[in-house]
Structure formats: structure tokens, C-alpha cells
Amino acid sequence: MRRFLIVIEQAANNFSAYSPDLPGCVATGSTREETERRMYEAIQMHIEGLIEDNQPVPSSTSFAEFVVVPA
């Protein structure tokens, strides 16, 4: 079992997501929930492809924090 950070961003009419630890692995959806589900599926497919190609599956090294600043 591995954990990967995903970043979900709201665009004009949809949402998009990516994982900093898996370059090229992206997903989109009309809702945040749909985008998260699709990103989960994209990560699964990405990792399966790496394994099939005898490539190493990277370890997750990314993390996220919120910073609060007066605005």
C-alpha cells in the first residue's frame, strides 16, 4: 500500500488534479469528488503501467501544509 499526495484545483468549469510524485499522472472532473475518484483510478493505472514496463514505482516525497497569513 502506498500513499500519494494529490493536488486538486478548481478551474473555470471543472476541477483538475495531479500528483507531484507521479509526473504526467492527471485527471479532471466536473466535481471535486469525481476528480478525486478519477485521480485514484489514474494513479492505479499509472502504477500498473510502471510495473508492466519494469520501471520503479516512486516513493511519495511530497507533502502539503496550509500557511495562514493576515490579508
Q: The whole model's pTM is what?
A: 0.89
pLDDT of the chain, 71 residues: tens digit per residue:
889 999 999 999 999 999 999 999 999 999 999 999 999 999 999 999 999 999 999 999 999 999 999 98
**DSSP per-residue string spanning 6-35:** -EEEE-SSSEEEE-TTSTT-EEEESSHHHH
Could you tell me the three cell numbers for 66?
Answer: 496550509
pLDDT of residue 39: 98
Can you give the residue ranges of every domain in the chain?
Answer: 7-52
pLDDT of residue 30: 97
